[in-house]
Amino acid sequence: MTEMIDKSEIGQRIRQLRLLSDYTQAEFAELIDISINFLSEIENGKKGVSQDTLAKICRQLNSSADYILFGIKQKQASLIDLANALTIEELETTIRYLESLIEMKRMQA
């Protein structure tokens, strides 16, 4: 079974991400090298995007193609994943920092 692409939903997600990034249509269209009219048609679900334009949109909005095309949000890294990426020194510093935050919270209560 093939997944249907809903241009209207894609356009809504692009518009939402553009606004969250505080770009006007004119600014964003220039950044991704398309016309304002074409961006408007994309955001209104009247036109689709090429792979190249999709790549530019994803890069500029710091988003995945999965989210723009299908609404699938990226999995957040777990605390364990993040901790595993740290060196021993960084992990020890992080633990001290967290202990300080907990102590400050206790003092405020």
What does the pLDDT read at residue 1? 47
pLDDT higher for 2 or 24? 24
End-to-end CA distance of the chain: 56
Joined tokens for residue 57: 């949109």
Query: What pTM value is reported for the model?
Result: 0.67
- Greater confidence (53 vs 80) lies with 53
Rounded to whole angstroms, the Cα distance separating 75 from 91 reads 23
Predicted local confidence at residue 2, as pLDDT: 54
What pLDDT was estimated at residue 12? 97
State yes or no: pLDDT of 59 exceeds 70. Answer: yes
Handedness of CA 30, 35, 36, 39 (dihedral sign): negative
CA distances from 10 to 62, 77, 103 (A): 15, 25, 46
- Residues 8-51: tens digit of each pLDDT: 999 999 999 999 999 999 999 999 999 999 999 999 999 999 99
The predicted pLDDT at position 44 comes to: 97
